[in-house]
């Protein structure tokens, strides 16, 4: 047996930054950013933390499901940009929502992370280990963005999204997921502790400039673009074939919100109408593993996604990683 989505939630930081705001400290402009990416705004953390966004998103998802935290058996948080290594964000969410019976861990598959977390919770449900799981994508990318690099910083934003899954005899599940670590240098970011801490005398000193470079996201935009435009449609084709589904049977393709041109290119290659590829990146930019659940939550709340509809969620990003997951809502 698999799990069905019975509630969704999201949370965005209040501070909204426009393209024009960026052009005050960067050589860029609204027209260039919109034309190349489709992005108009992004929300960035001010006094909030990614952990707090995750807790609010989780509470909203539980409210939508009509459940209390006590009924949650498992919490998996996907993040690459939280404030905490210890305790894990999922343990902080557990405390925040009173899910005292839940098993908890975080995972990182970059922008494919929400799918990795969703698939993991489905696996635990299908093994009979749990009945109810909470899947969260929560990011504070503004803290690791290189704000001096106009070719990457224009893309990213912060936010969190969540979904509650409950065991259901009618639920269906199918997935594909891949990684190509050999191309990992296309999108990188290191934690700083590896560079200056360690057993006395074992770690070489690094300059502040080198440290800043390595601890902010560095991206080869064109390589990531080429990878995404090829692998996203290929992954969706692979999923449809594996699940013996027709393209027409899919009501919505919820793609990771990285760039409107990537999403439009994927729709074109798949030969599916662009109207089936909703986008909210104009408002939020790329929120990594939070982008798919934020979009899912918005569409559910707007009544666009209806019970019984077939969704394909498709993620791609750092690693490099990519995947697609079938959801019957």
Cβ closest to ligand COA, residue 197 vs residue 222? 222
Residue with tokens 């698939």: 119
Q: Choosing from 19, 108, 256, 259, which is the catalytic residue? A: 256
Note whether 321 and 179 are within 8 A (CB). yes
Q: Choosing from 111, 119, 189, 259, which is the catalytic residue? A: 111
In whole angstroms, what is the distance from residue 21 CA to residue 150 CA? 13
Cβ closest to ligand COA, residue 60 vs residue 142? 142
Least distance (Å) between residue 219 CB and ligand COA: 6
Query: What value does the CA radius of gyration of the chain take, rounded to a whole number of Å?
Result: 19
Note whether 90 and 105 are within 8 A (CB). yes
Cβ closest to ligand COA, residue 5 vs residue 219? 219
Note whether 10 and 60 are within 8 A (CB). yes
Helices (H), the chain: 19-22, 30-37, 50-65, 89-97, 113-126, 193-196, 208-215, 221-242, 260-270, 281-284, 291-301
Choose among 42, 21, 40: nearest CA to 32.
40
Cβ closest to ligand COA, residue 225 vs residue 252? 225
Least distance (Å) between residue 284 CB and ligand COA: 14
Angle at 190 between CA 320 and CA 204, to 5 degrees: 135
CA dihedral 312→316→320→321, nearest 10 degrees, is -30
Angle, nearest 10°, between helix axes 30-37 and 260-270? 20
Residues found near ligand COA in the complex (CB under 6 A)? 28, 32-33, 36-37, 111, 150-151, 154-155, 219, 221-222, 224-225, 258-259, 286, 317
Least distance (Å) between residue 97 CB and ligand COA: 28
Instruction: Please confirm, yes or no, whether 111 is among the known catalytic residues.
Output: yes
Least distance (Å) between residue 67 CB and ligand COA: 32
**Strand ranges inside 45-181, DSSP E:** 74-78, 103-107, 132-139, 159-168, 173-179
Q: Choosing from 19, 60, 119, 286, which is the catalytic residue? A: 286
Instruction: Please confirm, yes or no, whether 91 is among the known catalytic residues.
Output: no
Least distance (Å) between residue 220 CB and ligand COA: 8
Note whether 293 and 53 are within 8 A (CB). no
Instruction: Please confirm, yes or no, whether 83 is among the known catalytic residues.
Output: no
Least distance (Å) between residue 240 CB and ligand COA: 22
Choose among 124, 163, 127: nearest CA to 4.
163
Cβ closest to ligand COA, residue 52 vs residue 158? 158
Cβ closest to ligand COA, residue 28 vs residue 126? 28
User: Whose CB is nearest to ligand COA?
Assistant: 221
Q: Which residues are the active-site residues?
A: 111, 256, 286
């Amino acid at each position: 047996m698999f799990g069905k989505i019975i509630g969704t939630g999201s949370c965005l930081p209040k501070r909204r930054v426009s393209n024009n705001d960026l052009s005050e400290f960067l050589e860029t402009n609204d027209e260039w950013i919109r034309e190349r990416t489709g992005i108009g705004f992004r929300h960035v953390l001010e006094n909030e933390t990614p952990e707090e966004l995750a807790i609010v998103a989780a509470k909203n998802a539980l409210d939508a499901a009509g459940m209390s935290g006590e009924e949650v058996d498992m919490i998996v948080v996907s993040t690459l940009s939280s404030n905490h290594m210890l305790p894990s964000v999922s343990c902080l969410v557990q405390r925040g929502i009173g899910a005292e019976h839940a098993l908890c861990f975080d995972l990182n598959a970059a922008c494919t992370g929400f799918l990795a977390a969703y698939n993991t919770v489905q696996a635990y449900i299908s093994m009979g280990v749990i009945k109810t799981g909470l899947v969260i994508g929560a990011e504070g990318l503004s803290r690791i963005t290189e704000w001096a690099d106009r070719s990457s910083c224009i893309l990213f934003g912060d936010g969190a999204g969540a979904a509650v899954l409950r065991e259901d005899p009618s639920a269906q599940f199918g997935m594909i997921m891949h990684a190509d670590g050999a191309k990992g240098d296309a999108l990188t970011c290191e934690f700083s502790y590896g560079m200056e801490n360690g057993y006395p005398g074992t770690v070489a000193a690094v300059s502040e400039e080198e440290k800043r470079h390595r601890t902010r996201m560095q991206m080869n935009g064109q390589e990531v673009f080429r990878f995404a435009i090829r692998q996203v449609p290929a992954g969706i084709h692979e999923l449809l074939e594996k699940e013996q589904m027709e393209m027409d049977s899919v009501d919505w393709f919820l793609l990771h919100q990285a760039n409107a041109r990537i999403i439009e290119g994927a729709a074109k290659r798949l030969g599916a109408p662009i109207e089936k590829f909703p986008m909210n990146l104009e408002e939020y930019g790329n929120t990594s593993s939070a982008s798919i659940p934020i979009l899912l939550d918005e569409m559910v709340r707007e009544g666009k996604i209806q019970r019984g509809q077939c969704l394909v969620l498709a993620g791609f990003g750092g690693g490099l990683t990519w995947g697609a997951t079938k959801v019957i809502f």
